[in-house]
Structure formats: C-alpha cells, structure tokens
Structure 1
Amino acid sequence: MPNQFRFRTLFAHGGIWIFGLLTIIPFLILLNLSVKDLSQFNLQRWSITFPFHFENYSAAWAVIRLYIWNSFVISGVTVVAVLVLSCLAAYPMARMKFFMKEKIYYLIIALLMIPFTLTLIPLFSLIIEFKFLNSWLGLWGPYIAGGQVFCIFVLRSFFASLPEEMFEAARVDGADELRILFSIVLPLSKAIIATLGVLNILNTWNDYIWPLMVINDDGKMPITLGLSTFQQMFTTNWGPLFAGYTIASLPLILLFMFASKQFVEGLASGSIKM
C-alpha cells in the first residue's frame, strides 16, 4: 500500500512538472528569439546563438513604451474606480436594510448572464452619442460599469459572512456605517479585494475588441492594439518584434509575482463562490 501511494504521488508530481514545463517552454523560446539578429533567426532559429543582441530591446522599448504607459493609465484608473464603487455598493447590500434591497441586488447580478458581445452595439452607440469616441473616457466608462457587477456579487457575499457582533459593537461605540466600512470591513477584506483587483487588471489589460472599436489615435492605444502597429513596423525584423512581445508580457508577470500571495489567499478563503 505505501509503495502504491508513493507511485501515485510521483506520478502526480511528474504530471505537474510536465505541464509546468509545457507552460514555460514557449516563454523561453520567446526569450531566445528576442536576442537574435536576422541572420541568426533564419539560420539557427531554435538553438542558442552568440552574441546576444540586446539592442533589440532598446529598439522595441522606444516604440512600445507609450502603449504600455497607456495600458497602465487605462487599467489603473479602471481598477481603482471599480473597487471603490463596488465596496460602496456591496456594503449596503450586505449589512444595511432599505427598500427593495434584494430586488436591486438580483437585478445587478442578473447582468452577469448577459454576454458582453450582446452589449457591444448599444455601448458603441452611447459612446458616439456622448462624443467619447477616440478617448480614454470611452474605455473607462464601460470598463468601470461592467467590472462592478462581478465585484459587487463577490464582495456582498464576503461582507455578509462577517460576524454581526463586530458591527453591533462598532455601532454601540458610536461608529457610523462609513466608519465601519473603512475601519473594520475593508481591513478584513484585503485579500479578496486584491484578488478582484488582479482579475480586473487582467480583463482590461488583455482586452482587444472594445479598444479596437473606440480608439483610433495611435497615441492613445493600449498595449493590445499597440502590438498590432508594432508588428507592422517590424514585419521582417524578428528580433525587435519578439523583444517587444517579451517586454509587453513583463508587467502582468511582475503584477502576479507581487500580488500572488494576496491573490491565492483570496481564492483559498472560499470567498469567491461560482
């Protein structure tokens, strides 16, 4: 029995290692291709070649840095606004009583059932009507409005699971609802808020369809659209092209490295129930 258990453990660990390598190998290939010049790429594409041409990164960074900055601005404003508004909306839904509270909550979460593709035409019509076309406001508005739905759903469930005794003690001490939210609820919700923040950043950073419809100005394009323009500039110069792809992937990798602890804690806490 112990040998059988040991075999199953080794088999499971071996499978994890194999899938892990399959995940990492494409990124290693990307790094290898990003330091080649044109002749090295054509003659020795899959092998490691010397010298490394790190000037590819300088050429790529000169073009791609504007697009990365645009994505930082778009995603940063979006995630801050979504989290702030979601916390302010989820707390009354979870801990306060008011007229038609449950009906309003069900109307909000019903929006989760509507596919984003069905809202593209109405949203685009609104953007044209408000004259937000080719403006970051045309991205922020739908991102903030749409990102709140899932966050309210998750935060409302988490806030409702907190012990009622804490809220009663705070009210006895004279704290109002806003003070309770900022002094008690939010400090206890750091992990789940961090998880929702990472998910929102991923959604906005990687979105391609909506920016393609709204943004035409090259100076306002996020990284997803900028890579298309970047690819046209380095059509046959493969080294800088793959260097640009590498640079574009670094922000999300660094984000997960620094936020992985809070992200895993938020998932492991059982707060997100699908």
Structure 2
Amino acid sequence: MTHIYRLRTVLTHGGILFFGLLTMIPFLMLINLSFKDLSQFNLLRWTISFPFHAENYVSAWGVIRHYIANSFIVSGVTVVAVLTVSCLAAYPMARMKFFLKEKIYFLIIALLMVPFTLTLIPLFSLVVKFHILDSWLGLWGPYIAGGQVFCIFVLRSFFSSLPEEMFEAARVDGADEFRILLSIVLPLSKAIIATLGVLNILGTWNDYIWPLMVISDESKMPLTLGLTTFQQMFTTNWGPLFAGYVLASIPLILLFVFASKQFVEGLGSGAIKM
C-alpha cells in the first residue's frame, strides 16, 4: 500500500508540474519573441537567437507607459471606492437591525442576476445625460456601482459569521458601531477584503467593452484600449509589439505575487465558494 501511495503521489505531482509548465509555454514564447528583431523573427522565430534586442522594451515602454498609468488610475480609485462603500453597506446588513433590512438586501443581491451586457445601453444613456462621457467619472461611476453588489453579498456573509460575543463585549466597553467596524471587523476581514480587491482589479483592468463605449480621448485610454492603438503603431515590427504585451502583463503578475497569500486565505475562509 505504501508503494501504491507513493506512486500515486508522484503521478499526481508530476501531472500538476506538467500542466503547470504547459501553461507557461505561451508566456515564455512571448518573452522570447519580444527580444527579436524583424530578421530574427522571420528566420528563427521558435528558437532563442542572439543578440537580444532590449531596445524593443525601450520603444514599447515609451508608448505603453501612459496607458498603464491610466489603468492604475481607473482600477486604483475603483477598488478603493468599491471596498469602502461595500464594507459600510455590508456591516449594517449583517450586524444591525433596521426596517426592511432583509428586503433591501435581497433587492441588492437580485442585481447579481442581471447580466452586465443588458445594462450597457442604460448606463451609456446615464453617462451622456450627466455629461461625463470621455472622462474618468464615466469609467469610475459604473465600475463602482456595479462592483458593490458582489462585494456586499460576500462581506455580509462573512460579517454574519463572526462571533456575536465580540460585538457585545465591544458595546459594553462603549464602542459605537463605526468603531467596532474599524477596530474589530476590518482587521478580521483582511483576507476576504484582499480577495475581493484582487477580483475587482482584474475585472476593471481587463475590461474592454465599457472603456470602448465611453472613452475616445487617447490621453484617458486604459491599457485595454491603448493596446489596440499600440498594435497599430507596431503592425509589422514584432519585437516591440511583443515587448509591449510583456510589459502590459507585469502589473497583474506583481499583483498575484504580492496578494496570492491573502487571496488563497480569502478563498479558504468560506466566504467565497468557487
């Protein structure tokens, strides 16, 4: 039985390693192509060729850095606003009593059943009506409003699972509800808040449809739109083009590296079931 268990373990880990390496092949090929000039791309496309052309990254960075900065502005403001409002909304839903609380909560989570594509035309009409077309508010407003629903749903579930004794002890000591939220609830919820933050950043960073509808000013284009313009600039100059794709992927890779621990803890906390 011991030999069978060891063999099963080796096969399991070997399969995971194999498929892990398989998923890395496209990214490794992308890096390889990003260091080639045009002749190397045409003659030695699938092999490592020398010399490496690091100037491809200089050319790509000169164009793409502005779009990356715009995406940081859009995603950064959105995630901070979404998490702030969601925590302030989820706490009363979970730990306080007020008139029509359950009905309001069910009305909020009912919005999870509405596909985002069905809201595009009404949202665009509102953006035009409020004269925030082609502006940061045209991106932030719908992102913040739409991102709260899922966050409130998850945070309310997590806040409700916390022991009531902690809240009673804090109230006996004279703490008000806002103090309890800041001093007790939020420190215990760091993992799940980090998880929701990562999911929200991924959603706004990778979104293409809504910025395409709202933003036409190139100075305000996020990365997803900027890559289209970037591709048109380096149509047949493949080295800088692939270098730009590598640079565009680095922020999300760094996000995963620094937030992976909190992300896994949040998934394992029981508040999110994938």
TM-score by length of 2: 0.99
**Which amino acid is 2:170 matched to?**
A
Matches within 5 A, 1:1-274: 1-273=1-273
Tell me by how many angstroms 1:10 deviates. 1.6
**Which amino acid is 1:186 matched to?**
L
Distance 1:95 1:66 in 2: 44
User: Does the 8 Å contact 2:143/2:204 carry over to 1?
Assistant: yes
Distance 2:146 2:5 in 1: 47
Tell me by how many angstroms 1:179 deviates. 0.4
Q: Percent identity?
A: 81
Deviations 1:38-93 (A, max 9, x none): 00000000110111000000000000000000000000000000000000000000
Tell me by how many angstroms 1:210 deviates. 0.5
Distance 1:51 1:5 in 2: 48
Distance 1:166 1:273 in 2: 26
Q: How many residues align?
A: 274
Could you tell me which runs of 5 or more consecutive residues in structure 2 were left unpaired when the two chains were aligned.
none
Distance 1:273 1:60 in 2: 40
Distance 1:2 1:122 in 2: 63
Could you tell me which runs of 5 or more consecutive residues in structure 1 were left unpaired when the two chains were aligned.
none
What CA RMSD, in Å, does the superposition of the two structures yield over aligned residues? Answer: 0.8
Tell me by how many angstroms 1:12 deviates. 1.2
TM-score by length of 1: 0.99
Tell me by how many angstroms 1:269 deviates. 1.3
User: Does the 8 Å contact 2:38/2:237 carry over to 1?
Assistant: yes
Deviations 1:7-49 (A, max 9, x none): 2212211210111011111110000000000000000001101
Paired residue secondary structure (2:273) = coil
**Which amino acid is 1:27 matched to?**
F
Distance 2:247 2:97 in 1: 49
**Which amino acid is 2:199 matched to?**
L
Tell me by how many angstroms 1:246 deviates. 0.1
Distance 1:231 1:40 in 2: 20
Distance 2:130 2:271 in 1: 38
